[in-house]
Every structure is written in structure tokens, then in C-alpha cells.
A and B are shown apart, each in its own frame.
Chain A
Amino acid sequence: MLRLEGLTKRYPTGDLALAGVSLHIPAGQVAALIGPSGAGKSTLIRCVNHLVQPTAGRIYLHGEDISRLRGRALRRARRRMGMIFQEFALIERLTVMENVLSGQLGYVGFWRGFLRRFPAAVVDQAFTTLERVGLLELVDKRADALSGGQRQRVGIARALLQNPEILLVDEPTASLDPKTSRQIMRLICEVCAERNLAAIINIHDVALARLFVPRVIGLRAGRMVFDGAPEGLTPEALTQIYGEEDWTQTTREGAGPAGSEADAPAHREVAIDRDRLAGIR
């Protein structure tokens, strides 16, 4: 469904944020993208919908090469990809409904959008989506009057109103409390399953990711260093992604005796989980 081939991004400042990333996400698959700060996670998903222009490499959406699109063709491609942001990126002074309907701006004409006269089917879909994310009673509230969790739900509803084929999600839970984080992650994964949507979710919370996603992609310094099921996230794998220092800090408590390599990984894994989840419960 989404295929990246040798995706590379060098910012004008000289930072090589992505160094030839190739991956394939089939339809309906939700993948978590993990990696240390500065690994290039945000850059990757921004390159996919061209908020950041990739330096080299190809992006295929359903087999169609979208890596060199501009103008109208680019906007057509963008509306097939819903984006969800860490800081929600809602328009504060507009109502929840207007924010959600703005997901349709790639489809409706200017005057419809300007006069807020969206087609009846779209408005109906907006209501259905708001009901799905549990915000039906807040339609006319202004976005700046909502809590973080509610805002992120509006963000999700806006992305869904694009009728996307894939969701690009940049740290959806980083500004939320642990419980809300789980609810939001669950919601994203559920809607993806309901609509057979693919998704890439950037996330720092490894424990949270492995609770919900079937596939984890590890990025380090712009290179893919892990790709597999969350069960494969052994301490070695995590070391490779995050580096030795961070990793020993996180696992010291659960580390088995040196030498017992055979059962150590599984043992540690449980310990990590407990460690990371401690803040959640």
C-alpha cells in the first residue's frame, strides 16, 4: 500500500535526517515507528505527504509514484493520507465541527468551505465520525475549550474525514496523560482495523507501542535498524535502536545474571514492560 524506496532527506542545514529508508506497509497494517530523538521519525512521515520535500528516493502509494508530484496532483495525493499531530494542530478559534470538516477541504470547492456549506453526506459523515470518537455532544464547542484527549480525538476525526487510505501519526500521545494515551492509541488502532487503514505511528513509548501494534520499525540516525513484530524487540534490538546508554538505564532492574543468555531476553522483556508501565497504571 505504501512503499518507500531509498527515501533520503538532507535538510538545507546539512543534517542528514533520513539515509535511504526502504519499507513497505501493506493495506490495513499499523506499524509503530520508534527511535531516539532526532532519528528522523517525523521527517519520514512528513516526507511521505511532502510537508517536507525528500531529497532522494521514491514513494509509492498503491503502486503510484507520488515522489515528484506538485500542485493539484500533490493535493490529490495528500488527501489520501490523514495526518495526526502531537500538539493536535487544531484551529483553536474554530468549532469542533469546523475542525473536523476541514478534513474535507481537499475535496470540496472553495465556496463550500468558505461558507461552511459542506455537502449533506459530508456533514453526516462528520457526525458519524464524531460519534465514533466520542465527541458528539461537543460539536459546537470551540477547539480551544477542549482537553488534550478531546483535542486529539478531534484531530483523529479530522484525519478520518479525509477518507484516507493511510494515517500518518506523529507522536499522538506525547502530550497526554498515560490513561488518555492508551485510549487514544486504542482508538487509532481500532479505527484502522474498522476501515482497513494502514498507519505509521511515531511513538516514544515502546511499551505502549507493543501493547497495540503488530509491527515495529526502528530508526536510528536516519537508518532502519529494526523491522519486525514487537516480540522481537529484545534488549539487543533496543540497544541497536536507542544505543547502549539509554538501554542499560531502562533495564538495570530486570537484567538477569550475566551469562544466562538463553532466558535473559524474555525475562528482561517482562521487566521492561513492568518498568515502562509503572507510570501508566
Chain B
Amino acid sequence: MPAAARTWSPPPLIRNPWLRWAIYLGALGYLALALSTVEVSWLRVYEGLERGRVFISAFSSPDFTSRADEIRQGMIESLTMTLTSTLAGILLAIPVGIGAARNLAPSPVYYVCRAFIAVSRSLQEIIIAILFVAMVGFGPLAGFLTLTLATIGFMAKLLAEDIEDVDPAPLEAIRATGAGWWPWLNYAVQPQVMPRLIGLSLYRLDINFRESAVIGIVGAGGIGATLNTAMDRYDFDDAAAILLLIIAIVMVAEYSSSHVRRWVQ
């Protein structure tokens, strides 16, 4: 005799039905209230749609020539900013990353480096850029400082994690030869983390170029500033040209860096 069909449904996330329904209704009420405070101006939406159409259509006729000088200037600024900040950031990230590796650094150094990394990573690039623009004024210097700081946080954290993951056997073996701390770092640790360090550096180069376009908008120089000006002037043809250039450069960087990374392994 077959057993009666038994049913099963997943237990509700909140067991108490009163509480459950109260939360559902509360959420619904909050949504309704929030929506009612948003003043949608349908006229502006309509105008915006029109501008959007113009902007999109500008991509069919990007204008690389009429503001070529400004665009070139912005590009050079951005690329310089990207390269210098990536390089400086990596060079500074290496000591910080070593200091933030549990298996290498004594406790006080470890905590200082970890704290530095946590702070520099908790601030978004745009916020850092606003701070630096306020400190050193408009222009690529603020951008350079911003990207350097962001690079240190990013690279140091990942480098420290990679160092903590190295095979401890060669570390012991080189220590047992009587090598000092620097040769030990150079022989036992460096070969183990180098491929990843190179890969991450190239990846960060990518990121920094993209970020350089973004932070330009808050005044940190580079192609972002040029783009911002073009947008303010409703020069959508110029803006389209700039965006296409950014996309092209990012794609080239992406392609070549993945190539190099594969080769390094």
C-alpha cells in the first residue's frame, strides 16, 4: 500500500509569523514612502532621453580632430600618471607587503602595515582624489598621489597574502645555510612570489588607467578632466572620441597583460 503523499516546504526564514508579516509590511510601507518622496520630473526625463540619443549617435561620428591637442594632452597626462603611480605604488607596496606578512614581520611591524593597508583600502579612489585635490590643487599631481596610495593598499595586501602562502620548506633551508635576512628574502621568498607580483602589477596598471579617467572628473587631471570638459560643453562628438580611445587602450592593456602573465608563469 503506497504511503500517502507527503508534502514539504522549506521552513520560513523567520519562524514567528507575526514578526514575519510585520517585517514584510514594514518593508513595503517604507518602499511606498520612499517612492513618494522622489520627485520625478517627466519633462526632464524626456529631455534627458533626447540628450542620451544625441550622445549615443555621437558615437557614429566621433570627433578626434577638432580638439586633438586637448585630447592628446589629456591622454599623455593620464598615461604618465598611470605609469608613474603604478611604479611608485609597487615600489612602496613591496616593503609594506613584506611588513604585513605574518610569517616574515614581527608583530608591531605587522600591525602597523596591516593598519595602513586597511585605511588605504577603505577609502574609495574618488574620495582620496577629492582630498588630494584639496591639498595640492587641481591637476595630475593629485591624480598621481591618489593612484599611488590606492596601488600601495591593493598591491601590499595581495603581496602579503601571497607571502603568507609560500612554501615554508625553502625558507627553513636557506635559513639553515646561515644566510642573512636579505639574501634569505632574495632566495627563499622572492622566487616564490615573483610571478604573482608581476601579474598583479600588470593588472594594477590596467586599473590605474581606468581610475585615472574617473578621478579626472573630480579635478585630478588627465583624460578624465578632458572628458569632463567635453561633457560640460555638450561636445558629445569629442566625448565619444575620448571614450573610444579609453576603451581601446584598456583593451590593449588587457590583452597584452594577460599575455605577459601567462608567459611569466
B188 at the interface (CB under 8 A from A): yes
Contact of A75 among B173, B180, B186 (CB under 8 A): B180
How many of chain A's residues touch chain B, expressed as a range? 20 to 34
Least CB separation from A74: chain B residue: B178
**In the complex, how many residues of chain B place their beta carbon closer than 8 angstroms to a beta carbon of chain A?**
22
A49 in complex: contacting residue of B169, B176, B182, B184, CB < 8 Å: B176
Query: What number of A-B contacts does a CB cutoff of 8 Å give?
Result: 85
- Cross-chain contact of B186 among A49, A106, A114, A168 (Cβ < 8 A): A114
Most buried by A among B173, B175, B184: B173
Question: If A93-B192, A93-B194 touch, does A113 touch B175 (CB 8 Å cutoff)?
Answer: no
Interface centre among B173, B174, B178 (most CB of A within 10 A): B178
B184 and A105 form a contact (CB under 8 A) = yes
Q: Which of A40-99 contact B (CB under 8 A)?
A: 49, 51, 75-83, 85, 87-94, 98
In whole angstroms, what is the CA distance A113 to B175 when docked?
A: 14
Q: Any chain A CB within 8 A of the CB of B21? A: no
How far is it, in angstroms, between the C-alpha of A105 and the C-alpha of B183 when the chains are bound? 7
Chain A 104-119 per-residue mask, 1 if CB under 8 angstroms from chain B, else 0? 1111001001100000
Known: A85-B173, A113-B187, A114-B186. A91 touches B180 (CB 8 A): no
- Distance in angstroms from B265 CB to nearest chain A CB is 10
**Alpha-carbon distance A104/B186, docked complex (angstroms):** 14
Over the window 140-175 of chain B, the binary record of Cβ atoms lying under 8 Å from chain A Cβ atoms (1 yes, 0 no) is: 000000000000000000000000000101101111
**Chain B, 15-42, contact with A by CB distance < 8 Å: what is the 0/1 string?**
0000000000000000000000000000
Contact status A92-B191, CB under 8 Å: yes
- B105 contacts A by Cβ under 8 Å: no
A76 to B170, CA, bound (A): 19
Report how far A82 CA is from B174 CA in the complex, Å.
Answer: 10
Contacts of A81 in B (CB 8 A): 176
Given the known A-B contacts A85-B169, A110-B183, are A91 and B176 also in contact in the complex, defined by CB atoms under 8 Å? no
**Interfacial chain A residues near B191, Cβ < 8 Å:** 91-94
Complex: A103 Cα to B173 Cα, angstroms: 9
A105 near B172 (CB under 8 angstroms)?
Answer: no
In the complex with contacts A90-B170, A110-B182, A83-B176 CB distance below 8 A: yes
Chain A to chain B contacts (Cβ below 8 Å), 11 pairs:
A78-B175, A85-B169, A93-B194, A98-B187, A102-B177, A103-B177, A105-B177, A105-B184, A106-B180, A155-B173, A158-B177
A interface residues with partner B (beta carbon < 8 Å):
49, 51, 75-83, 85, 87-94, 98, 102-107, 110, 113-114, 155, 158, 162, 168
